[in-house]
């Protein structure tokens, strides 16, 4: 396994589209800015751009695009030779319920999925079902996990991921307004410090197909706060509300070194005997 992991974080802006091909072109244009990455991550609900193709822009019709979505990103993962965390997409699970899921596409054709486990109130009102699994995914580039937006606000999730070996947490996010964004961003930074991990936070931006649903975002790639990483733990950061791709190299060897001999040994210094809750 290579100790240096190249990640690309895509800040995706809603655009008006007339055909499914317009959506495909939008995705491909952004991926053209991703060169030799090991992982690329899109934001939460970025496929909601397809609501422009739906009568009355009904959200519950988005699962009808699931097969096309899976076909598209399976081909792109193979073409680019990278693992693509394709944001999230509303889909119908095997039980017939609606889920907000992050799909992971591998160059060899393997597809994995994480169903969002903690739902924001607006998601519950929309009839989305909570997922019930928190998995760490082993790849030939390291151990990764997914925390979808609101999930990052629950420290137990990232703690469980870390206990099970996660080195990088990918956070596809879609936050309505600036307050929501900063809740998730601050939690991303806290989780990186608490668990001595890398966090890749991909934000959705732009004018949403539905009124009142415009997201606010400023994507980032985050590390613990100690040398030789930046003092603020921000390895790369997008401009607020401008579509773009940010990239950085994540050193897993350095991460494990700091877990053993860093300034703030958060993993070693925990007191589960004191706060076993």
Give the span between the Cα atoms of 4 and 1, in whole angstroms: 9
Out of 116, 141, 247, 258, the active site residue is 116
- Please tell me which residue in 9, 49, 123, 149 is annotated as part of the active site: 149
Alpha helix positions (H), 48-165: 66-80, 121-125, 155-163
Catalytic residue, candidates 44, 167, 194, 243: 44
Q: Which of 48, 52, 46 is nearest to 10 (CA)?
A: 46
Torsion 11-203-39-48 (CA) sign:
negative
Distance from C-alpha of 53 to C-alpha of 112, rounded to nearest angstrom: 27
188 counts as catalytic: no
In terms of Cα–Cα distance, which of 245, 220, 110 is closest to 169?
Answer: 220
Closest CA to 229 of 199, 200, 247, 255: 255
What is the Cα–Cα distance from 196 to 233, expressed in whole angstroms? 11
- Cα–Cα nearest to 89, from 140, 138, 48: 48
> Any catalytic annotation for residue 149?
yes
Q: Concatenate the DSSP letters of all residues of 135-173 into one string.
A: -PEEETTEEEEE--GGGGG-HHHHHHHHHTT--EEEEEE
* Distance in angstroms between the alpha carbons of the first and the last residue of the chain: 36
Catalytic residue ranges: 44, 116, 149
């Amino acid at each position: 396994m290579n100790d240096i992991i190249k990640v690309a974080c895509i800040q995706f802006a809603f655009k008006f589209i007339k055909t499914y091909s317009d959506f495909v072109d939008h995705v491909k244009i952004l991926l053209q800015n991703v060169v030799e990455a090991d992982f690329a991550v899109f934001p939460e609900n970025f496929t909601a751009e397809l609501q422009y193709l739906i009568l009355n822009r009904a959200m519950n019709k988005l699962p009808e695009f699931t097969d096309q979505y899976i076909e598209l990103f399976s081909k792109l993962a193979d073409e680019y030779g990278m693992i693509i965390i394709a944001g999230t997409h509303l889909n119908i699970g095997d039980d017939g319920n609606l889920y907000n899921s992050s799909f992971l596409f591998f160059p060899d054709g393997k597809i994995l999925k994480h169903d969002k486990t903690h739902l924001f109130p607006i998601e519950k009102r929309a009839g989305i079902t909570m997922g019930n699994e928190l998995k760490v995914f082993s790849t030939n580039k390291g151990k990764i996990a997914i925390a979808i937006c609101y999930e990052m606000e629950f420290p137990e999730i990232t703690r469980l991921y870390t206990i099970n070996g996660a080195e990088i947490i990918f956070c596809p996010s879609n936050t309505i307004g600036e307050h929501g964004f900063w809740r998730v961003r601050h939690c991303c930074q806290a989780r990186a410090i608490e668990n001595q991990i890398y966090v890749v936070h991909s934000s959705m931006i732009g004018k949403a197909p539905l009124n009142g649903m415009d997201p606010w975002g400023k994507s980032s790639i985050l590390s613990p706060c100690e040398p030789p990483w930046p003092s603020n733990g921000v390895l790369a950061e997008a401009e607020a509300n401008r579509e773009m791709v940010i990239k950085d190299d994540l050193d897993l060897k350095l991460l494990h070194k700091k877990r053993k001999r860093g300034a703030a040994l958060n993993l070693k210094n925990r007191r589960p005997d004191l706060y076993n809750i």
